[in-house]
Structure 1
Amino acid sequence: MIDGLPPALLPQRLWALVRRWALAWGNVVGLGAVVLVLLCSPSSYRRRARKRLALQIYLDTVPVLAGFTALAALLSLVVTHIVVVTAHSYGLTRYALEMVVRVLVLELIPLTAALFVAMRTVIPGAARLAQLRRSGALQALRARGGDPLRMEFLPRVLGGAYASITLAALSCVVALLMAYLGVYGFNTAGFSAYTRMFGQVFTPSITLVFALKTLLFSLTVALVPMAASLHASHADPQPGRHDAASQGGLARLFAVLLLIELFSLLGNYY
């Protein structure tokens, strides 16, 4: 007996676990393929679909843009002050600003933006889409001649990806500005040294890794929760099973984000 499970049933349980794991990741890959096909289809850019897409991007990005940017600015000032004071006490002041830029801009801000978008827009949007599917609203839309994939699914995926990239890009710019102000204040005395340090940090290889990481973060937060929610609503309409599947999707989301962050660290420093 292993945790109350007869040894004869252990292989079956392991096979069921591997099967569920493969099915969940297969749904994510399949969802990404559907998005790619829809993006390449001219019918996805007709007037009605284009209007729905623009509205979803606006709703996912604009309401949270100011709040997250202010949060990033505050975080940048606090982290800059802590790092500068600590480095000064150890006689490492010349490395403080570079450390702030590497920690904040290269690592913390993109990951924080992706998690913020996932929790604030993508996961609630995926839950809403699953609810529409269980209630039959998507079938009713299809019966009226509409395409649920183009009108409901694609806008939510692209809206989440766009919001993640936009928040990360704008917050990184704000973090760079706050880091400069936190060290040099409101003057241009340190502009030359700051731009030199910026060029030393953002080499072509590190810039490429940073751009790829931000893009992969955005695709992950847009696809993984949506695939988990849609699969749960289609496979089992019971609320308890749906919640369990959504929690599994959240765990997969964190796992993928951590793997992307790990590989980016390996690409930047090894």
Structure 2
Amino acid sequence: MFPYDGPMTTTGLHPASLPRRAWALAVRWALAWWRIIDLGAVVLVLVLSPSSYRPAARERLARQMLADTAPILLGFTALAALLSLVITHIVVVTALSYGLTRYALEMVIRVLVLELIPLTAALFVAMRTTIPSGVQLARLRQTGRLQALRERGADPVRMELLPRVLAGVHASITLAALSCAVALVMAYLGVYGFNTAGLPAYTRMFGQVFTPSITLVFALKTLLFSLAVALIPMASGLYPPHSGTARDRQDQTGQGGLARMFAVLLLIETVSLMGNYY
């Protein structure tokens, strides 16, 4: 006969182990968010420090910005232009069928420029730039490169992490700004064509949409998006995994970082929608 230690749950776990697992999960969750907040404060201090912009640091930062922005700039801008033309055509044709033509262009700008493009730019930069940079940072930590920098008296956060974070922020803001400008041009061309007849009405409508409050929310949302996609993957790569099983450590460094990033992006988007429309 096998010894009996008490009732088991349907998943095969002893009921007494459930509180311990829940507590361990809460500790890992709190530690991960604390590391992100702490790293954000450290990066903010370094950004405001003049010593972070010495000639060697400026050269390293410029190379990182160029490497993270240039390869994806043209492709994403072309994608934004194509998306703008398609969405503009769909919205205008739909508005014509319902007799709402006067609201079609305003709807395109509100949906496309204010909401879709900044979020899409942030996600594109995360997938193509900042998440791979976080993986590179994790490899540097695993191979002992960061520890070697510490032993030589250098700051690995200043030398390896700060250029990657600032390059990610720069790439996200650049893609969002350029793509929004292209989307505005494509929306005008999709409605009025290659002539200036609709320019006065278009500029008037543009001023009605981009009020000071909405412009402020748009700028803050774009900045927060860029900070989220640049900082959270770096935090996952810089810090070693929390203690636990191999599967728990893998989840924490991989899916856990992505889940936290998407949660922050969703929170920012929700708050911005409330600020714009409530």
Provide the TM-score with structure 1 as the length reference. 0.95
Q: Is the 8 A contact 1:161 1:219 kept in 2?
A: yes
Moved more, 112-121 or 243-252: 243-252
Report the equivalent of 1:13: 21
TM-superposed CA distance for 1:244, in Å, is: 4.5
Report the equivalent of 1:262: 270
TM-superposed CA distance for 1:10, in Å, is: 2.0
How far apart, in 1, do the equivalents of 2:257 and 2:140 lie? 19
The equivalent position to 1:50 in structure 2, one of 55, 58, 61, is 58
Aligned partner of 1:253: which letter?
M
Residue correspondences, number: 270
Report the equivalent of 2:179: 171
Report the equivalent of 2:128: 120
Matches within 5 A, 1:36-185: 36-185=44-193
Alignment deviations for residues 84-127 of structure 1 (CA, whole Å, 9 cap, x no partner) = 01111111111100000000000000000000000000000010
SS in 2 for 1:7: coil
TM-superposed CA distance for 1:8, in Å, is: 1.9
Alignment of 1:197 with 2:233, yes or no, is no
Structure 2 segments unaligned to the other structure (5+ residues): 1-8
How far apart, in 1, do the equivalents of 2:162 and 2:123 lie? 20
How far apart, in 2, do the equivalents of 1:246 and 1:160 lie? 19
Alignment deviations for residues 197-233 of structure 1 (CA, whole Å, 9 cap, x no partner) = 1011111111111111001000000111111222246
Structure 1 or 2: more helix by fraction: 1
Aligned partner of 1:73: which letter?
A
Report the equivalent of 1:252: 260
TM-superposed CA distance for 1:265, in Å, is: 0.7
Structure 1 segments unaligned to the other structure (5+ residues): none
Q: Is the 8 A contact 1:56 1:156 kept in 2?
A: yes
Provide the TM-score with structure 2 as the length reference. 0.92
Aligned partner of 2:202: which letter?
Y
The equivalent position to 1:33 in structure 2, one of 41, 44, 50, is 41
How far apart, in 1, do the equivalents of 2:243 and 2:10 lie? 29
Aligned partner of 2:85: which letter?
L
Alignment deviations for residues 123-172 of structure 1 (CA, whole Å, 9 cap, x no partner) = 00010011011101222334444332222110000100111011001100
Larger Rg: 2
Aligned identity (percent) is: 74
The equivalent position to 1:188 in structure 2, one of 196, 210, 223, is 196
